[in-house]
Structure 1
Amino acid sequence: MSLILNDVAKFVTSKIEISEIDETNYISTENMLPNKGGVIEASSLPDTQTVREYQSSDILINNIRPYFKKIWFSDKNGGCSNDVFVLRAKNNYDSKFLYYVLSSDDFFSYVMSTAKGTKMPRGDKKAIQNYNVPEFPIEDQMKISNLLNGIDQKIEVNKKINNHLEEIILEIFDRWFVKFELSDELKSSKLGLIPKGWDIDYLGSKKSCTIIGSGIRNFEDSKIYIATADVDNSIITYNENLITMEDKPSRANMQPVPKSIWFAKMIDSRKLIMVDEYSSELLDNYIFSTGFCGLKCVDKYFYYLWTFLLTDAFNTMKNNFCTGTTMQAINNKDTKLIEFVLPDDNLLSQFNSIAEPIFKEIYYNNNEIKKLQNLRDILLPKLMSGEIDVAEINYDLKRIIRKFILSLLNYLYENKNYFKNTKSNETLLKSRTIHKIDKYFTKFIR
């Protein structure tokens, strides 16, 4: 018996009052991340009285430009825009299994092949309802979804560790370079009181960094073109098939160079990419769109500037310079005007000694995330086709270990104020211990 999507799921069309929605549970195409990256908090709410309703365990799929592969398995109730499909599994189909069916490249290829429109393709609901889905007993559905979910949970653990490490370095930056807790004597400056021996710099001065040129034409076809939509919090989540020869623009930013930082120019976007000695693949294979601005950093200011660009203060400065009608963004000329304090070499050296191992750890975690995502995407079609038999797999031990790891991470976040009040070296030691614990338990679940 052949199954189609309409047999196992329904499209939700019910509405919910906008008064019951906030930025934490509103989903639109803007705050869904590409390549199955989930969602982030919305930056604003729509000016409407109602929005489409979704519930926990529903599957949300972005319907604009399906090639971005924006899909999310909801873990709460909320509302979403009309550009997002909401699917709810029927009783004969496991919700998480259905999510993985619809996460497959085969599904998104099908949606694109039946989509309407060229510049802004949209999925055809009727065609999607006729998509062929695999038929498994409910027990096997749950085994497959548990296996794939185990990989996704490890990805989430890595992301939580990285978020924690980022919190640590931002806390140190705030105490040392914003509140000046390690400096005794202050002097007046155009940015207010700053420690004696420090300077005021701006991104266009060339003392700490240089803005990378305006763009190049006729770049090599072998280069992978990266737009801002292909980046998720410093992780490149590109789809190599996204840009074809015909789609490639005639102009792009320069190829990344060592010790450079790339940030998205668009208003409110916090997307950053670091290019250092650990990311040589970026130098060889990638080229960025004009949606990015690149900063070639003087070596000793590299981690300092990266952390500065992570701060709310930089985002506010950037937003103040953003102009435009359809899409507001900062230009390179105004980027040069952004000012910041420049510490003395002694404190900068101390900061680098802490920052470098933290960012190295973040890089390795990001690299593992990419490998896990690739593993999941390789396993997915093999499991769905029945090529891999999961009939004999036992998940009880894996579930116990996963719950322990997640409980550990939850404890750390519930007590993050304690970690913030410890000395920086003690906090760094704790974060390394967390990684070692996670690495130890990973041996049991791979």
Structure 2
Amino acid sequence: MTEWRKRCLGEITSFMSKGIPPKYVERENENTVRVLNQKCNRNFEINYEESRLHDCSKKKVPADKMLQPGDVLINSTGTGTAGRVAQLYDVPTPTTIDGHMILLRPTEEIDSIYYGYAVKAFQPKIETLAEGSTGQTEINRKRLQEEIVISFPEEKETQERIARFLLNIDEKIKVNGKINKNLEQQAEALFKAWFLDYIPWNGSVPDSWIDGKLGDFADIKRGGSPRPIQKYLSDSGLRWLKISDVTSLQTPFVIDIKDHIIEDGLKKTVFLKEGSLILSNSATPGIPKILDVDSCIHDGWLYFPKSKFSREYLYLYFKYIRQHLVNLSNGSVFNNLKTDILKNYPTILPDKETLHRFDAIVYPMFLEMQNRTRESHKLAAMRDALLPKLMSGELDVSDIDL
């Protein structure tokens, strides 16, 4: 039987600090380093696309605040994101963090990857350590060190086995994400070649294609919201898709919807079956997604009950014209993409044979992306279910082949 120890997080943490107040610049040079912020912290991993550049010639970065493989990062502030945990397994370029994140490094007593997963297991608890007024909350680092109690096997070999098991799950999820990104890029490149550059037709629009507006070729409808929405929200029932569910989603398919509404709200909203294409029209407008589960959509979404285009074609089309749509949207607080803007958007309808040939190529790509999204969702659910049990000693790992 493996012996387990318990330590307060502060006892097994050799270094804990907030990040720097950056001096941002736009261009990379010999004096710049990458700076991660809370937007970079997504679903247990770091996305460098949201990072920015800091000029070290204006403000030096302490050596201990330059990130290393194995470092654990926690969002210290951010509405809905304070307490979110991620771990760095590699650092591809010199990188630090800003003051909205906390950096943690373990002592020699505990394997660094195990340490990261142990902290992740306490994310719900860590989120409750945010203190302050509404919109200005921040994780209390003293409470973080004292109230988070980590369990770990005494033998480092067992720690490493548990960590490797969990890491293998996350690596598979990452591989699926990379394959999906590559497939989507291939589909986008084909769409551009055929319907923007007209390469198969020597750079010219074929005479048989019809010039019109999107509303001529597709029905464009808007979702609906029962109000006040607080009366209809529930822990279970009909899924209720929010735009925040998809803003950081790196796949065309929506499978994880957090909120629900009661059936009484069905009269004032729109219920869509899985496979439906949707497009955000407010807050963060112009995001196309395909539902992989049944869901209700509020009036911040548009949907397309009938169309001469396939959902895959429309998805790629909306990705191409998104910036144009954002520029046309308006709103005093949030951008709002009015239905009429989309209905009147200039659009060309290719002939049926061309559309059929295109769909025959891209449909298998989208099907593969859908299958890999589903697999990753199941893997993440398995990881999240096993994580607290593996990190607490509830599962006896001595007889398990990890």
Provide the residue aligned with 2:35 in structure 1. Answer: 26
Structure 2 match to 1:256: 272
Query: CA offsets, 1:264-313, max 9 Å, x none?
Result: 446877753213xxx3xx22xx33355443343426432211111233xx
Q: Contact between 1:321 and 1:330, CA under 8 Å: does it hold in 2?
A: yes
Alpha-carbon distance between aligned partners in 2 of 1:146 and 1:347, rounded to the nearest angstrom: 48
C-alpha separation between the residues in 2 aligned to 1:90 and 1:237? 38
CA–CA distance in 2 between the matches of 1:154 and 1:209?
A: 39
Give matches, 1:300-379, under 5 Å.
300-311=309-320, 314-324=321-331, 326-379=333-386
CA distance in 2, matches of 1:266, 1:110: 32
Alignment-mate amino acid for residue 127 of structure 2? M
* Alignment match, 2:160: 142
Partners of 2:233 and 2:212 lie apart in 1 by 36
CA distance in 1, matches of 2:212, 2:39: 34
* Deviations, residues 213-245 of structure 1 (Å, cap 9, x unaligned): 4544465741233322223123547474x6799
TM-score by length of 1: 0.71
Gaps of 5+ in 2: none
Structure 1 residues 155-234: aligned runs within 5 Å: 155-184=173-202, 186=204, 194-203=205-214, 205-217=215-227, 221=234, 222-231=237-246, 232-233=249-250, 234=252
In the TM superposition, what is the alpha-carbon distance from 1:209 to its structure 2 partner? Answer: 3.6
* Partner-residue secondary structure (3-state), 1:387: coil
Summarize the Cα distance change of 1:109–1:72 in structure 2 as closer, same or farther, 3 Å threshold. closer
Would you say the 8 A contact 1:252–1:287 is kept in 2? no
**Structure 1 28/386 Cα, relative in aligned 2: closer, same or farther at 3 Å?**
same
Amino acid across the alignment from 1:110: K
What does the per-residue CA deviation read over 1:305-356, in whole Å, with 9 as the maximum and x for residues that have no partner?
1111233xx1221221243455445343433343333211110010111122
Say whether the 8 Å CA contact 1:230–1:237 is kept in structure 2.
Answer: no
Work out whether 1:61 is the aligned partner of 2:74: yes
Q: Which residue is 1:42 aligned to? A: 50
Using structure 2 for the length normalisation, give the TM-score: 0.78
- Contact 2:254–2:290 at 8 Å: present in 1 too? no
1:144, 1:383 within 8 Å by CA — same for their partners in 2? yes
Q: For 1:320 and 1:24, how far apart are their aligned partners in 2? A: 32
Query: In 2, Cα distance between the equivalents of 1:26 and 1:270?
Result: 28
Return closer, same or farther for 1:301/1:244 CA change in 2, 3 Å cut-off: closer
Instruction: Check conservation: 1:304, 1:352, Cα contact below 8 A.
Output: yes
Is residue 89–residue 98 contact of structure 1 (8 Å, CA) maintained in 2?
Answer: yes
Conserved? CA contact 2:75–2:81, under 8 Å: no
Instruction: Report deviation, 1:261.
Output: 1.9
| Paired amino acid for 1:296 | P
Q: In structure 2, the residue corresponding to 1:274 is in which secondary structure?
A: strand
Q: Which amino acid aligns with 1:133?
A: I
Secondary structure of 1:255's aligned partner? strand
1:65-104 equivalent positions in 2, closer than 5 A: 65=79, 70-74=84-88, 75-76=90-91, 77-104=94-121
Q: Distance in 2 between matches of 1:69 and 1:181?
A: 49
- 2:141 — aligned with what? 125
Larger relative helix fraction: 1
Matched letter for residue 382 of structure 1 = K
Distance 2:322 2:278 in 1: 14
- Opposite residue 303 of structure 1, the aligned amino acid is E
Distance 1:250 1:390, change over 3 A: same
- Aligned-partner SS, 1:98: helix
1:380 aligns with 2:387: yes
Q: Secondary structure at the match of 1:369?
A: helix
Give 1:180 shift: 0.7
Identity of aligned residues (%): 22
Give the 3-state SS of the residue equivalent to 1:134 in structure 2.
strand
Q: Provide the rounded CA distance (Å) in 2 between the counterparts of 1:209 and 1:50.
A: 55
Which of 261-270 and 346-355 deviates more? 261-270
More strand by share: 2
User: Which region of structure 1 is more displaced relative to structure 2, 174-183 or 75-84?
Assistant: 75-84
